[in-house]
Amino acid sequence: MNKNGVTLWFTGLSGAGKTTISHVVAEVLKSQNRNVEVLDGDIVRLNLTKGLGFSKEDRDENIRRIGFVAQLLTRNGVIVVVSAISPYREIREEVRGKIGNFVEVFVNAPLEVCEDRDVKGLYAKARSGEIKQFTGISDPYEPPVNPEVECRTDLETLEESVAKVMNKLEVLGYLS
């Protein structure tokens, strides 16, 4: 197994801070001349998984496709930074099993905090019924049971969250 390649899988509610933390982590890794690719859930949905809806089956297929790309990159020595809500525990575990070198980062913020941040106005639309099957409102989010890293974005700074992720990568031997 190539110890240099790893998938960092950022999961959490919309607005929890996945994209923010994952992008800073990616920039730090790139500044260290590491081979890094970012798979952001929103961007992947526009390109790789266009046409999939938000049923459980479609969400699972979305995560499987992201996982497949992450697996290919990881086995070729790339540090893959995935930022995707990925609400269902079982599919995250399936992807973890296929990738192998996998670090789950639970970006944890209470629902109220995520709703307050609601930069895209999605929670308001979900609450009004305009958006159906919205994670955290009308669709479940199953938090990780034992993530390698938990970032509490309501209680810690961005710098503290980034440091937690970077420290875990060092402890696990991915950054030698």
For the annotated catalytic residues, the residue numbers are 86
Tokens of 88: 């269902």
Neighbour tally for 133: CB within 10 Å:
14
In this structure, are residues 104 and 96 in contact, taking their beta carbons and an 8 Å threshold?
yes
Residue 52 — φ and ψ, nearest 5°? -80, 140
